[in-house]
Amino acid sequence: MKLAVLADAIGGILDGDGELEITGIAGLADAGPGDLSFLANSEYATMVSATAASAVVVGRGWEGRAACALIRVANPDKGMAMAANLLGPSLVLDAEPGIHATALVAGDAVIDPASSIGPLCVIESGAVIGARTILMAGCYIGRDTVIGADCLLRVHAIVRERVKIGDRVILNESAVIGSDGFGNYRDGGEWKKIPHIGTVEIADDVESGANTTIDRARFGKTLVGRGAKIDNLVQVAHNVYIGENVAMAAQVGISGSSRIGAGAMLGGQVGMAGHLEVGEGAVVGAQAGVTKNVPPGAYVTGYPAMPHRKAAEGHANLMRLPNLKERVRQIEERIAELEQKLDLGCR
């Protein structure tokens, strides 16, 4: 594809030779002649002057030195996503509409004819699968579960009974939606299982990562709001509420009945105790342990999670303790000297 055509296709302004032929796409360090690359993270800005790429997608106002043509766009991540769809290998799945001969579909399940049910899928009684939704190999859909249109369930994804999934939802490999919440009560010295008669509702445009588990509610619903993006190996417990456009990185764990406000972002391995709230637009740093409510818009880190500035100051103070100890030691010397002087001279 000619560079001028590509720039046009991604809504960018070309700064360079539009006749260049672009054949691939690569990171700044790996790119060679014929490749398109991009600069989204300003940390890598100096690499633009050294890359062997034929062209680099940059932000509109970028003013650094470049060794090649530039395509200026408002949002380099978006531009590059568009370019990847044009230049990359097709990500369209070989999914023919229809039900694979080896899939096991209950007679009363309602399968849209434009959906694609892959090999070895199991769909239980009363389930509904929407138009153009793709179930790859080995997916499981429980009784009376409803999956919307244009969803993609990747290999071995599991959605248990009575769950509702919206449109354009992506469930990655071996994700488990609607697993039992972890609830037991003590009866004498023993734990007895609390039945979880509730369910899970996942709104439109949500993505759940591979091997992520989202538990069903004790009663009522565990809710994942529209556009929320959840990475791999995340645990979402019973009765949790995840707001719209929340982003949660890998291995996050949210305890029961907690709420994450719209647009909040949780870094990798964050843990959150139960019955708490993270406010809208808040950011929780990686590995933080949330033990009380986080206000909207706050940026918290550490364990227990606190405003990042406070956590950073706490850490800095800790690291400077040897200095403080030394000051105290010197004070003790000086005071002993003073006491001696007073004893001797000022009596």
Task: Identify which of residues 39 and 170 has a Cβ nearer to its own copies in the complex.
Answer: 170
Segment 232 to 291, residues that bind its own copies, using CB under 8 A = 232-233, 235, 237, 239, 245, 247, 249-251, 253, 255, 263, 268-269, 271, 273, 275, 286-287, 289
Site string for its own copies, 144-183 (x = CB under 8 A): ----------xxx-x-x-x-------x-xxx-x--xx-x-
Q: Minimum Å distance from CB 143 to its own copies?
A: 7
Q: Minimum Å distance from CB 133 to its own copies?
A: 16
Task: Identify which of residues 19 and 319 has a Cβ nearer to its own copies in the complex.
Answer: 319
Task: Identify which of residues 46 and 125 has a Cβ nearer to its own copies in the complex.
Answer: 125
**Catalytic residue chosen out of the listed positions 238, 275, 308, 315:** 238
Q: Minimum Å distance from CB 16 to its own copies?
A: 20
- The CB density around residue 62, as the number of other CB atoms within 10 Å, is 18
Cα 20 from chain centroid?
36
Q: Is 238 a known active-site residue? A: yes
Cα–Cα distance, 259 to 145 (Å, whole number): 24
Q: Minimum Å distance from CB 137 to its own copies?
A: 4
Q: Minimum Å distance from CB 34 to its own copies?
A: 13
Paired with 207 in beta bridges are: 170, 229
Contact region for its own copies (CB under 8 A) — 9-17, 64-72, 109-117, 213-221?
213-221
SS3 string, the chain, reads CEHHHHHHHCCCEEECCCCCECCEECCCCCCCCCEEEECCCHHHHHHHHCCCCCEEEEECCCCCCCCCEEEEECCHHHHHHHHHHHHCCCCCCCCCCEECCCCEECCCCEECCCCEECCCCEECCCCEECCCCEECCCCEECCCCEECCCCEECCCCEECCCCEECCCCEECCCCEEEECCCCEEEECCEEEECCCCCEEEECCCCEECCCCEEECCCCCEEEECCCCEECCCCEECCCCEECCCCEECCCCEECCCCEECCCCEECCCCEECCCCEECCCCEECCCCEECCCECCCCEEECCCCEEHHHHHHHHHHHHCHHHHHHHHHHHHHHHHHHHHHHHHHCC
Segment 324 to 343, residues that bind its own copies, using CB under 8 A = 324-325, 327-328, 331-332, 334-335, 338-339, 341-342
Segment 283 to 322, residues that bind its own copies, using CB under 8 A = 286-287, 289, 302-304, 310, 313-315, 317-319, 321-322
Task: Identify which of residues 14 and 136 has a Cβ nearer to its own copies in the complex.
Answer: 136
Task: Identify which of residues 19 and 31 has a Cβ nearer to its own copies in the complex.
Answer: 31
Site string for its own copies, 47-66 (x = CB under 8 A): --------------------
Cα–Cα distance, 120 to 261 (Å, whole number): 38
Strands 184-187 and 190-193, by their bridges, are antiparallel
Task: Identify which of residues 19 and 126 has a Cβ nearer to its own copies in the complex.
Answer: 126
Does residue 197 bind its own copies (CB under 8 A)?
yes
- Could you tell me if 129 and 117 are in contact, meaning their C-beta atoms sit under 8 angstroms apart? yes
Does residue 81 bind its own copies (CB under 8 A)?
yes
Does residue 96 bind its own copies (CB under 8 A)?
no
Task: Identify which of residues 97 and 195 has a Cβ nearer to its own copies in the complex.
Answer: 195
Does residue 91 bind its own copies (CB under 8 A)?
yes
The residue within the footprint of its own copies, chosen from 45, 104, 114, 149 (CB under 8 A), is 104
User: So which residues are the catalytic ones?
Assistant: 238
